[in-house]
Amino acid sequence: MKQRLMVSGRTVRGGVAALAGALVMAAFIPAAPMGTVAAAASSCEGLSSLSIPTVTIDTAQTVAAGAFVAPTAPGRGGAGRGGRGAPEGGGGQAGRASPASPYASLPSFCRVAATLKPSSDSDIKIEVWLPSSGWNGKFQAVGNGGWAGTIGYPALAAAVAGGYAGASTDTGHQGNTAAFAIGHPEKVVDMAHRAVHEMTAHSKKIVDAFYGAAPKLSFWNGCSTGGRQGVTAAAKYPGDFDAIVSGASAINWMRLHAARVALNVFTRRSPDSSIPAEKYSMVHDAVLAACDAGDGVTDGVIENPERCKFDPKVLECKSGDGPGCLTPAQVETARALYAPVKNPANGSTVLPALLQPGSELGWATLAGPEPQGNAVEAFKFVVFKDPNWDWHAFNAAKDIDQALEIDNGLLDYTEPNLKPFFDRGGKLMLYHGWSDPQVTALNSVTYFKDVSKKLGAGVVGKNIQLYMVPGMNHCQGGPGTDTFDKMAALEQWVASGTAPAQIVASHLTNGRVDRTRPLCPYGSSAKWKGSGSTDDAANFSCVAN
């Protein structure tokens, strides 16, 4: 099979077989590097003597093809996990990848590790990877997951495999935890935005020193926390990147954590209010029965949850309790999972609904025995600055406002005015899984609408576009077509000036493609044409909702 990317009426073809290859995310690289630079201006090892204010070059060494082994020390480790509970995705994630080594097929590259100290309390670790040959003349920085604290080696590997000079940062602390925040306000600033900016600015200097040429284009690629980082960079540092991929963006960071804890506490307000995990599939089947066929195909995926009208009341037990029904208290809980989270003190909306119809199999993430781990850490280490704080003491009526007041828009930064970024020709590609059980899909929908409202409809398709992924969980996974070449889509957008009319995505089972579907710009959905295989994207078209 061949994977196809529809951009402005043209079709770009790339082999899908590579999706199951040995290199993690090697399938998500552009078909061919453009404008490759053959020779370096400086030796790799010579970069160790590079002098840049506030920057210390820790190491600079050439890594032979296939020889890289990821360190295990904190801060230089692999992709971060999302604290206690389910993981949150990191930079460059693009679908279910091969469990084989992500580095075995890497070409030779120059690996530079550096420490940045833009403030007296900063200790930002970065790595810059520079292809020894075949550089495509471009720079790609990759994002983090959860509370960061690690270098994203798999995402860096994908960037280098694609011909890019790549960079990643631990954002100024070690370990995927918020424990660093107590007594270190400057490190919180680094985590919020400064580390990514400093990494980007100084990485470009290292690129220039090595190749004797600055990158002709600079890209960001991240999901979850990496999505938040991308949106923040576009708004706060509009000159850093030419184009940005922002997936499952964890913007509204502090609101998100507050809503997560508040919702979890509500689900266990009484002895019989929590929905047992063994009932999730029963609820999910009922939701599919009500809404799956809306796109003309019954396939276990809800194409457009916004048009799904499902009331859990239909599952209420006639009497007592049982595995095939919900108690009245559980019905109220299920309704709350689909509803906006409100502040009980004043009725104001904290965030839109955290969960959408179709997400039921992932409800344990936010409605399980305890609140999501990253959210608990936000209150422990940032809000209350008390490692012993117990989430059972959470009081939504006062703690939500306190969290937002203490953060004061730092981690919660969400600015829709992207005019300076767009005036430079900047492109922002948003994507989000409709079945995301961790970061509400409406984060991306709301932000996309806010930017469009702020700057006018003319920016849509030219400077910003949103692609919702039916059936996809957080950054990847789920029954939807969660595997697609984000960087290729972004490259084509930059080259043509127009966002993709559709992006063909794949679903893989055991490393083999068993379904393709078009991902449509927000406001339209994929609909079956009425003939041909329903597992072939060619038999679907994007139709306005």
Here the CATH number for the domain that contains residue 223 is 3.40.50.1820
Contact 226, 91 (CB under 8 A): yes
Instruction: Give the pLDDT of residue 423.
Output: 98
Q: Which residues are CB-neighbours of 184 under 8 A, at least 6 positions away?
A: 121
Indicate whether 11 pLDDT > 60. Answer: no
What value does the CA radius of gyration of the chain take, rounded to a whole number of Å? Answer: 23
Q: Which residues are CB-neighbours of 122 under 8 A, at least 6 positions away?
A: 116, 172, 186, 187, 190, 194, 195
**467 and 372, same structural domain?**
no
Give the pLDDT confidence of 325-380 residue by residue, as tens digits: 999 999 999 999 999 999 999 999 999 999 999 999 999 999 999 999 999 999 99
Indicate whether 35 pLDDT > 60. Answer: no
Q: Which residues are CB-neighbours of 91 under 8 A, at least 6 positions away?
A: 79, 142, 143, 144, 145, 152, 155, 168, 221, 222, 223, 226
Instruction: Give the pLDDT of residue 39.
Output: 52
Indicate whether 1 pLDDT > 90. Answer: no
Give the pLDDT confidence of 115-170 residue by residue, as tens digits: 999 999 999 999 999 999 999 999 999 999 999 999 999 999 999 999 999 999 99
Give the pLDDT confidence of 180-212 residue by residue, as tens digits: 999 999 999 999 999 999 999 999 999 999 999
Distance of CA 516 to the CA centre of its chain: 21
**417 and 377, same structural domain?**
no
**427 and 442, same structural domain?**
yes
Give the pLDDT confidence of 42-83 residue by residue, as tens digits: 799 999 999 999 999 999 999 999 999 998 755 444 333 333
Q: Which residues are CB-neighbours of 486 under 8 A, at least 6 positions away?
A: 28, 94, 221, 245, 247, 429, 431
Going by the DSSP 8-state scheme, the letter that residue 370 receives in this structure is S
**450 and 397, same structural domain?**
no
Q: Which residue out of 98, 122, 203, 224 is catalytically annotated? A: 224
Average pLDDT, the chain: 90
**42 and 78, same structural domain?**
yes
Q: Which residue out of 359, 474, 506, 507 is catalytically annotated? A: 474
Q: Which residue out of 436, 444, 482, 507 is catalytically annotated? A: 436
Instruction: Give the pLDDT of residue 287.
Output: 98
**367 and 287, same structural domain?**
yes
The token pair at 7 is 């951009």
In whole angstroms, give the CA distance from residue 391 to residue 376. 7
Give yes or no: 49 in active site. no
Give yes or no: 274 in active site. no
* DSSP of 196-255: HHHHHHHHHHHHHHHHSS--SEEEEEEETHHHHHHHHHHHH-TTS-SEEEEES---SHHH
Domains in the chain, number: 2
**171 and 106, same structural domain?**
yes
**63 and 46, same structural domain?**
yes
Instruction: Give the pLDDT of residue 87.
Output: 41
**437 and 390, same structural domain?**
no
The token pair at 238 is 């509009």
Indicate whether 284 pLDDT > 70. Answer: yes
**118 and 33, same structural domain?**
yes
Domain end residue (candidates: 382, 407, 432)? 407
Give yes or no: 436 in active site. yes
Domain end residue (candidates: 383, 407, 431)? 407
Range of the domain at 387: 255-407
In whole angstroms, give the CA distance from residue 20 to residue 26. 9
